[in-house]
Every structure is written in structure tokens, then in C-alpha cells.
Amino acid sequence: MRLAINWFKYSAPTTFYGLAGKMVPYFAWPAAILFPIGFYIGFFVAPTDAVQGEAYRIMFIHVPASILSMFIYLILAGYAALGLIFKTRLSAMMAAALAPTGALFAFVSLWTGALWGKPMWGAWWVWDARLTSELILLFLYLGFIALQASIDDPRRADRASALLAIVGSVNVPIIYYSVQWWNTLHQGSTIKFTGTSMHVAMQQAMFTMLVACWLYTIAVALARVRSIILEREGNTQWVRELKEVRS
């Protein structure tokens, strides 16, 4: 019961603004430390790949960026759905705060994929299931952002973009299973639930980079949602009495 009360307390923008501000460094600093560690393991500890040579090292940024681009979308859609059902203001703001970061990870996934595809497949881009569905994911993010920006009334903007986010979430399992459902050029995942054939240092590098990307995402989304709260709650007393606004 107490847990429920606390949850609702922190789901109010008034309290979450301060809480988010306190939380940012706890995610930002570990991310700033883990990125160089992951890079070090990936480039100085992990051995050269037997098949792909040095080019495989793109994996340590490509795979985490791709995973994040999909996960962030699901979290965004979850927040959007919460906002739609319970009309909680903060949920919609969190969805809006996650969208740019998700779009950037989708872009990084496509960009690093092109730079990996060229030497390995001989093509920057092919219209196969995995690549095309990831491109659609990027467009879904951009559509969400554009829809938010194009409707002046925040409540209507939240509702419209929430619908887009929820409908678009069917694309995420399509991306994930595309390498199994269709005959694609894109390789399947090396790490499976049943184990992996990957060298231990390669696993460590990828896992470290993945955690760093997660921490980065949380830090950036929390920092961004604070600005969104300020933008949307600007006419309220508590925002006007914040010391950073009064000074």
C-alpha cells in the first residue's frame, strides 16, 4: 500500500522534477566510465575475428545501439499507453523524452550497419527484412516526434502520438525475428538464450557497451524530461517558484 502511494507521489511532475535531477548523475557517471572500459576491452583485449578480421569490432557499438533502439521504442510505447489509459501527465512526458534518444540509436544502428555491410557484403544497403524494418523504426520515431511538434494542444498531441507509438510497436518483434522469418543477408544473433560461440572478451566488451548505452539513455531521458516538465508546467506556481527560474 505504501509502495502504491509513493509511486503516485513520484508520478506527479512536481516531485519527479527534483527526483530526476538528483538521479541524472548516478546514471551519467557510470555511463561515462563504462564506455571507455567497453571500448578498451573491445579493441585491446578481444581478439581479431577469424572470419571478419578487424571489421567485426563495429559490433560493439552496432549491436547495443540496435538493441537500445528497439527497447526504447517498447518503453516509449508503454509510457504512451499508460498516459492514454490513466491520463497521467508524466507518462506522456516520459514518452516524449525517450523519442529523440531512440531515434538517435536507430540512426546509429543503421549507420554502423552500413559501414559494416559494405566491407562484409559489398553493399552499404540492401532492402532486406532486417534493414528495412529497422529503417521503419527510425521513421516511427521521427513520426512520433513530428506529430508531437505539429499539434499545439499537448493533450491532443499526446493522444495522437500515443496511438502511433502503440500501433508502431508491432514493428519491434518484426525487427527482432526478421532474421529467422525471412531469408536475409543479415546474420543471426551470435548470443542466444542457449549460449554463445563468442569469445569471452567479445562478450564482455559488448555487454559493457550495452550497459553503458542503457545508463546513457536513462541519464539523457531524465535530463530531457525535466525540460519538458518546465515547458509544459510553465504556468504553474511551483515551476515559477523554483530557484533556477526565479534567479
We find the least distance from the C-beta atom of residue 212 to another protein, in angstroms, to be: 10
We find the least distance from the C-beta atom of residue 58 to another protein, in angstroms, to be: 5
Residue 141 or 216: the one with the smaller Cβ distance to another protein is 216
Cα torsion angle, 134, 140, 146, 149, sign: negative
Beta bridge partner(s), residue 191: 196
Question: Cell 569471452 maps to which residue?
Answer: 200
We find the least distance from the C-beta atom of residue 126 to another protein, in angstroms, to be: 16
> 36, exposed or middle or buried, with CB in 10 Å at 0-12, 13-18, 19+?
exposed
Q: Provide CB contacts within 8 A for 112, sequence distance 6+.
A: 58, 61, 62, 65
State the angle between helix axes of 154-168 and 89-121 in degrees (0 to 180), rounded to the nearest 10: 40
The answer to whether the beta carbons of residues 178 and 130 sit under 8 Å apart is: yes
We find the least distance from the C-beta atom of residue 159 to another protein, in angstroms, to be: 23
Residue 36 or 173: the one with the smaller Cβ distance to another protein is 36
We find the least distance from the C-beta atom of residue 138 to another protein, in angstroms, to be: 13
Residue 84 or 117: the one with the smaller Cβ distance to another protein is 117
We find the least distance from the C-beta atom of residue 177 to another protein, in angstroms, to be: 25
Residue 82 or 202: the one with the smaller Cβ distance to another protein is 202
Summarize as ranges the residues that interact with another protein (CB under 8 A). 39, 43, 48, 53-55, 57-58, 61-62, 65, 100-101, 104, 107-108, 111-112, 115-116, 118-119, 216, 220, 223-224, 226-227, 230-231, 234, 239-240, 244-247
What's the grid cell of residue 30? 557510470
Residue 118 or 155: the one with the smaller Cβ distance to another protein is 118
What's the grid cell of residue 147? 506529430
Quick one: the chain helix, strand, coil %, rounded to 5?
80, 0, 20
Residue 115 or 174: the one with the smaller Cβ distance to another protein is 115
In this structure, what DSSP letter does residue 88 have?
-
